[in-house]
């Protein structure tokens, strides 16, 4: 897992307004450069820590539609993305991605709708709206995974059962082994357990490498499973 399309990013803060909310996000406000050292990189952190904001900006800077889809998707239901993408410079590797996809849980319905509208004789619709939410979400991910691709996933576990998360983990791992690169924001302790993946934590006010067992997702899940009664007695 060492053939990367994106090797690093640089942020030019002179292109971001002095009053921008981006300057209030602790993990991002002092970030100037960030390296990627694996074909699978996970962003982890508490809600509001900036992981999805950075993932979105990187995806847009890489040519993807803000609401998701392939680079061929061009639609907008609501412009909510930040100006961070304008300030990001992506340092690319020697290879060019042959395919790619930006998958985000919050706009999946809109992307599934557009997938039907974009369908034609050469590209039959997968009819994601006719499947359950979890089935359609996993099917879309599986249909878009190809060797040599660049993928941005924002909380892909949102609609998936634990068993389906294991299926997705396997799909991502095998695709990365075939030369693809993934950058994923997640809270899933299952996905985070992927062998060889790099985990970057957005907690503590600075982005830093993190071991799997040190992630909050792992620690809270372990605590709940091993000592559920005592934990709930404290909370309830």
Task: Convert the pLDDT of each residue in 73-119 to its tens digit.
Answer: 665 555 656 789 999 999 999 889 989 989 887 666 666 666 666 66
Q: Which of 23, 109, 102, 116 is nearest to 62 (CA)?
A: 102
Q: How confident is the model at residue 71, as a pLDDT?
A: 78
Residue 128 pLDDT exceeds 90:
no
> CATH topology for 6-211?
Rossmann fold (3.40.50)
Q: How far apart are CA 213 and CA 168, in angstroms?
A: 21
Taking the model in full, what pTM does it have? 0.89
Is residue 31 within 8 A of residue 109, CB to CB? The reply is no
Q: How far apart are CA 21 and CA 24, in angstroms?
A: 5
Q: How confident is the model at residue 137, as a pLDDT?
A: 74
Pick the more confident residue, 164 or 136.
Answer: 164
């Amino acid at each position: 897992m060492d053939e990367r399309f994106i090797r690093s990013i640089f942020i030019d803060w002179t292109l971001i307004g002095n009053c921008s909310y981006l300057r209030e996000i602790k993990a991002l406000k002092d970030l100037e450069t960030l390296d990627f050292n694996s074909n699978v990189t996970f962003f982890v952190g508490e809600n509001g820590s900036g992981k999805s904001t950075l993932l979105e900006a990187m995806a847009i800077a890489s040519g993807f539609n803000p609401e998701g889809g392939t680079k061929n998707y061009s639609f907008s239901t609501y412009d909510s993305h930040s100006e961070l993408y304008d300030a990001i410079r992506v340092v690319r590797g020697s290879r060019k991605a042959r395919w790619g996809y930006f998958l985000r849980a919050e706009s999946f319905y809109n992307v599934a709708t557009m997938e039907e509208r974009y369908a034609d004789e050469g590209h039959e619709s997968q009819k994601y709206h006719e499947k359950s939410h979890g089935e359609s979400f996993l099917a879309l991910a599986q249909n878009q995974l190809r060797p040599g691709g660049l993928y941005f996933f924002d909380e892909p576990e949102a609609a998936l059962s634990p068993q389906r998360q294991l299926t997705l983990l396997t799909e991502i791992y095998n695709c990365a082994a075939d030369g693809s690169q993934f950058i994923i924001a997640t809270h899933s302790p299952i996905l985070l357990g992927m062998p060889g993946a790099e985990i970057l934590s957005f907690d503590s006010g600075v982005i830093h490498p993190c071991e799997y067992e040190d992630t909050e997702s792992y620690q809270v899940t372990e605590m709940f499973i091993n000592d559920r009664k005592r934990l709930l007695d404290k909370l309830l």
